[in-house]
Amino acid sequence: MHPLGPSASSVVATRILGLDPGLRITGFGVIDKLGSQLRYVASGTIKTRDGALPGRLKTLLDGVREVVTTYQPDQAAVEIVFVNVNPQSTLLLGQARGAVICGAVSCEVPMSEYTALQIKQAVVGYGKARKEQVQHMVQRLLCLDQLPGPDAADALACAICHANSATDGAGLPAHGRRRAGRRLASI
């Protein structure tokens, strides 16, 4: 858990990592949740180069581990892969998703999964929203100065969806709690 603000010594936030898996580009977004407030921490992408699949998957695994090491999330959320018309594309995306999940859970970060419909519903209020609508709502909800890129926006939307999927008194799913007393010196 992470403190927010200079006088927040007894108030802690939960840090959430959102992941939008892709074999070429995987988006990540990190937010802090304190009560009903969400605060942007960071976002970006992990990109793989063309080449053999095992090397690309290792790039994703290592990239997620680096993000986890850098931002120390308490929980993570990932988008569930949809089945599309091309079975080969679906298989490759599933493998990328597996590498992304393994990157987080190998660092002992609890993982939750959400469908694209759930994520869009939570962020835009409409499960079939376009990418641009998701980007604009993420910008608005996190008070960002500029529009996040599409992959980072999808990852941030996944984190927002998780933050708003509260089932326990602290505002997060009970199965995802860990490291209760941990604090980070700077955010």
Which residue among 32, 74, 151, 154 is the active-site one? Answer: 151
Is 132 one of the catalytic residues?
no
What b/e string do you get for 27-50 counting C-beta neighbours within 10 Å, with b at 16 or more?
bbbbbbbbeeebbbbebbbbebee
Which residue among 32, 74, 79, 154 is the active-site one? Answer: 79
Is 79 one of the catalytic residues?
yes
Sign of CA dihedral 156, 174, 129, 136: negative
Which residue among 20, 32, 74, 154 is the active-site one? Answer: 20
Give me the numbers of helices (H) and strands (E) for the chain, helices first please.
5, 6
What are the Cα distances from residue 141, in Å, to 7, 29, 66, 117?
24, 13, 26, 18
Give catalytic residues, as residue numbers.
20, 79, 151
